[in-house]
Amino acid sequence: MNTSNTTVEYLKQEKFLVAVDCIIFGFDSENIKLLLFKRRVEPLKGALSLIGSFIKNDLNLNDSAKMVLEESTGLKNIFLKELRTYSDITRDPGNRVISVAHYALIRINELDIENVEEHDAHWYDFNDIPDLIIDHKQMVDDAINRLRDEARREPICFNLLPKEFTIPQLQAIYECFYQKKLDSRNFRKKIVSFDILNKTTRKDKTSSKKGAFLYVFNKRKFKTFIAKGNRFQL
């Protein structure tokens, strides 16, 4: 095995600018939202865009995206996944840039407001996204489709809710994704049958006089659920 720092073969190759862009999703009890920014550098300064950054030599792509998220939202430990690359030669008018889009789910209530305002960031309803620079609109569309699909099969929506949440809150997210009302009896029956939530004794009273019991997602129970050969499917 070759252990020198840079192999001769590699020196001949062209190098590229590489960036990460983040599609940040939130949920405000009404709708799925996306966090968009006013771009601060040329080209296209001032236009609406996703938040992103060129990567540096000391971080991999995932960590680069994490850093971007932390800087723009003040949040650590965000749910984050790679979406796909965008590499058309002329996609960026400034120069060729290969961008790796990532999508993130955050809890709006934990957001650092100051940070966000400092970055000229605003939430937009996910089914009413304005035009964005370059191919960012495409990235958003792709991310929404991916998320819609993934939400059906993986327990990821919990990342949009506070650690403790109610069943009706969870249902509301799925109703946004599917764009239709769900039967609350059937929804509750299904999610409870999975046995992946812990019911607390506390109630959330922000949306009704009666209050709804708070639940917590239990990762251990979920693993057991999967180990038994079950499939999360909503």
Binding region for its own copies (CB under 8 A): 1-10, 13-18, 41-44, 54-62, 82, 84-85, 87-89, 93-98, 100
Binding site for DNA (CB under 7 A): 166-168, 183-186, 188-190, 203, 205, 207-213, 233
Which residue number, 2 or 201, has a Cβ lying nearer to its own copies?
2
Phi, psi of 36 (to 5 degrees): -120, 155
Least distance in Å: CB of 153 to DNA? 12
Least distance in Å: CB of 174 to its own copies? 16
> Cis ω on the peptide bond leading into residue 43 (within 30° of 0)?
yes
Question: Would you state the structure tokens that stand for residue 211, as one six-digit string?
Answer: 């209050």
Question: Using CB distances below 5 to 8 A depending on partner kind, what does residue 2 bind out of its own copies, DNA, none?
Answer: its own copies
Which residue number, 99 or 166, has a Cβ lying nearer to DNA?
166
Least distance in Å: CB of 149 to its own copies? 9
Please answer whether residues 197 and 218 qualify as being in contact, where contact means their C-beta atoms are separated by less than 8 angstroms.
yes
Least distance in Å: CB of 29 to its own copies? 29
Question: Using CB distances below 5 to 8 A depending on partner kind, what does residue 185 bind out of DNA, its own copies, none?
Answer: DNA
Which residue number, 38 or 189, has a Cβ lying nearer to DNA?
189
Question: Using CB distances below 5 to 8 A depending on partner kind, what does residue 58 bind out of its own copies, DNA, none?
Answer: its own copies
- State the Cα angle at 76 between 85 and 44, rounded to 5°: 45
Least distance in Å: CB of 106 to DNA? 22
Which residue number, 85 or 207, has a Cβ lying nearer to DNA?
207
Question: Using CB distances below 5 to 8 A depending on partner kind, what does residue 151 bind out of its own copies, DNA, none?
Answer: none
Angle between helices 167-178 and 136-153 (to 10 degrees): 130
Segments of 106-173 assigned E as strands: 121-125, 164-166
Which residue number, 67 or 216, has a Cβ lying nearer to its own copies?
67
**Residue 6: count of CB within 10 angstroms of its CB:** 8
| Exposure letters 141-180 (e unless 16+ CB within 10 A, then b) | ebbbebbbeebeeebbbbbbbeeebbbbbbbbbbebbeee
Please answer whether residues 73 and 111 qualify as being in contact, where contact means their C-beta atoms are separated by less than 8 angstroms.
yes
Least distance in Å: CB of 87 to its own copies? 4
**What span, in angstroms and rounded, lies between the C-alpha atoms of 65 and 4?**
30
Q: Where are the alpha helices (DSSP H) in 154-196?
A: 167-178, 184-194
Question: Using CB distances below 5 to 8 A depending on partner kind, what does residue 201 bind out of its own copies, DNA, none?
Answer: none
Which residue number, 60 or 193, has a Cβ lying nearer to its own copies?
60
Phi, psi of 124 (to 5 degrees): -125, 140
- 3-class secondary structure, 191: helix
